[in-house]
A and B are shown apart, each in its own frame.
Chain A
Amino acid sequence: ELCPTIKNILLLDSEGKRIAVKYYSDDWPTNAAKEAFEKAVFTKTQKTNARTEAEITMFDNYIVVYKFVQDLHFFVTGGENENEIILATVLQGFFDAVGLLLRGTEDKKEALENLDLILLCLDEIVDGGIILETDANVIAGKVDSHSMDAGAPLSEQVSLLLFHSSDYPLAKSIATILTYLGLQQTITQALATAREHLTRSLLK
Chain B
Amino acid sequence: MGLRRMVYVIIKELSPSADEVIIVTSSLMKDMTSKTDMYRANAIRVLCRITDGTLLTQIERYLKQAIVDKNPVVASAALVSGIHLLQTNPEIVKRWSNEVQEAVQSRAALVQFHALALLHQIRQNDRLAVNKLVSSLTRGSVRSPLAQCLLIRYTSQVIRESTNDTQTGDRPFYDFLEGCLRHKAEMVIFEAARAITELSGVTSRELTPAITVLQLFLSSSKPVLRFAAVRTLNKVAMSHPTAVTNCNIDMESLISDQNRSIATLAITTLLKTGNESSVDRLMKQITNFMSDIADEFKIVVVDAIRSLCLKFPLKHRSLMNFLSNILREEGGFEYKKAIVDSIVILIRDIPEAKESGLLHLCEFIEDCEFTYLSTQILHFLGIEGPKTSDPSKYIRYIYNRVHLENATVRAGAVSTLAKFGAMVDGLKPRIFVLLRRCLFDNDDEVRDRATLYLSTLGGDGAVVETDDGVKEFLFGSLDVPLVNLENSLKNYDPSEKAFDINSVPKDVKTQPLAEKKATSKRPTGLGAPPPGPPSTVDAYEKLLSSIPEFASFGKLFKSSAPVELTEAETEYAVNVVKHIFDGHVVFQYNCSNTIPEQLLENVTVIVDASEAEEFAEVVSKPLRQLPYDSPGQTFVAFEKPEGVSAVGKFSNMLRFIVKEVDPSTGEAEDDGVEDEYQLEDLELVAADYMLKVGVSNFRNAWESMGVDFEHVDEYGLGPRDSLAEAVNAVINLLGMQPCEGTEVVPPNSRSHTCLLSGVYIGNVKVLVRLQFGLDGPKDVAMKLAVRSEEETVSDAIHEIVASG
Contact = CB atoms under 8 A, between A and B. Distances in A.
Contacts of B45: 127
B259 interface: yes
B47 interface: no
A22 B689 CA distance: 56
Q: Which 7 A-B pairs have the closest CB atoms?
A: A148-B2, A85-B187, A146-B2, A84-B228, A2-B153, A88-B224, A3-B117
Contact of A4 (B3, B121, B146, B228): B146
A33 to B, nearest CB: 14
Interface in A111-149: 116, 119-120, 123, 127-128, 130-134, 142, 145-148
Given A148-B2, A158-B3, A170 B224 contact: no
Interface string B38-75: 10000001000100000000000000000000000100
B14 A132 contact: no
A36 interface: no
19 contacts: A48-B259, A56-B223, A59-B523, A59-B524, A59-B525, A60-B521, A83-B228, A85-B187, A85-B190, A116-B6, A120-B6, A123-B8, A128-B84, A146-B38, A158-B3, A165-B23, A170-B21, A177-B10, A177-B13
A120 B9 contact: yes
Given A84-B227, A128-B84, A142 B38 contact: yes
A152 B3 CA distance: 10
A54 B5 contact: no
Given A2-B153, A80-B519, A164 B259 contact: no
B187 A86 contact: yes
Contacts of A61: 519, 521-522, 525
Contact of A170 (B12, B14, B83): B14
B227 A146 contact: no
A49 B223 CA distance: 11
B381 to A, nearest CB: 37
B153 A58 contact: no
Contact of B80 (A2, A85, A127, A178): A127
A173 interface: yes
A150 B745 CA distance: 70
B261 interface: yes
B117 A130 contact: yes
A167 interface: yes
Interface in B76-98: 76-77, 80-81, 83-84
Interface of B: 1-10, 12-14, 16, 20-21, 23-24, 27, 38, 45, 49, 73, 76-77, 80-81, 83-84, 110, 114, 117, 120-121, 146, 149-150, 153-154, 157, 186-187, 190-191, 194, 221-225, 227-228, 231, 258-259, 261, 519, 521-526
Contacts of A142: 38, 73
B150 A2 contact: yes
Contact of A57 (B24, B120, B261): B261
B519 A146 contact: no
State the main secondary structure of chain B at its contact with A: helix
A130 B114 contact: yes
Contacts of A105: none
A181 interface: yes
B498 to A, nearest CB: 53
Contacts of A83: 149, 187, 190-191, 194, 228
Contacts of B2: 116, 120, 146-148
A177 B110 contact: no
A160 to B, nearest CB: 7
Contacts, number: 152
Contacts of B10: 174, 177-178
Given A56-B227, A56-B259, A158-B7, A85 B120 contact: no
A123 B73 CA distance: 13
Given A54-B223, A80-B519, A161 B23 contact: yes
Interface of A: 1-4, 48-49, 53-61, 65, 80, 83-89, 116, 119-120, 123, 127-128, 130-134, 142, 145-148, 152, 154-155, 157-158, 160-161, 164-165, 167, 170, 173-174, 177-178, 181
A89 B114 contact: no
A179 to B, nearest CB: 11
B16 A56 contact: no
Contacts of B16: 167, 170
Contacts of B7: 157-158, 161
Contact of A148 (B3, B154, B187): B3
B259 A57 contact: yes
B153 A131 contact: no
Contact of B38 (A1, A55, A145, A155): A145
B38 A56 contact: no
Given A54-B222, A55-B223, A128-B80, A85 B6 contact: no
A164 B62 CA distance: 27
Contact of A134 (B146, B261, B526): B146
Contacts of B228: 56, 83-85
A87 B524 CA distance: 20
A3 B82 CA distance: 14
B73 A80 contact: no
B785 to A, nearest CB: 42
Contacts of B12: 123
A175 to B, nearest CB: 10
Contacts of B83: 3, 130
Contacts of B187: 83, 85-86, 89
B6 A148 contact: yes
Nearest to A181: B6
A120 B227 contact: no
A116 B3 CA distance: 9
A181 B146 CA distance: 32
A59 to B, nearest CB: 8
A158 B191 CA distance: 46
A60 B523 contact: yes
A78 B14 CA distance: 24
Given A53-B223, A174-B10, A177-B10, 8 more contacts: A2-B154, A49-B258, A59-B523, A83-B187, A85-B190, A120-B2, A123-B8, A164-B23
B674 to A, nearest CB: 50
Contacts of B231: 84
Nearest to A127: B80
Nearest to A50: B223
B224 A65 contact: yes
Q: Which one of A65, A132, A164, A165 has the greatest number of beta carbons of chain B within 10 Å? A: A132
A59 B187 CA distance: 22
Contacts of A160: 23
A147 B120 CA distance: 37
A86 B146 contact: yes
B1 A56 contact: no
A2 B5 CA distance: 31
A202 B258 CA distance: 66
A148 B154 CA distance: 42
A53 B117 CA distance: 30
A177 B150 contact: no
A47 to B, nearest CB: 10
A108 to B, nearest CB: 21
B61 to A, nearest CB: 22
Nearest to A174: B10
Nearest to A147: B2
A123 to B, nearest CB: 5
B157 A2 contact: yes
Contacts of B190: 83-85
A78 to B, nearest CB: 12
Contacts of A54: 222-224
B738 to A, nearest CB: 27
Contacts of B149: 4, 83, 86
Contacts of B526: 58
A146 B223 CA distance: 36
Contacts of B225: 85
A108 B623 CA distance: 67
Contacts of A161: 7, 23-24
A57 B262 CA distance: 9
A161 B25 CA distance: 11
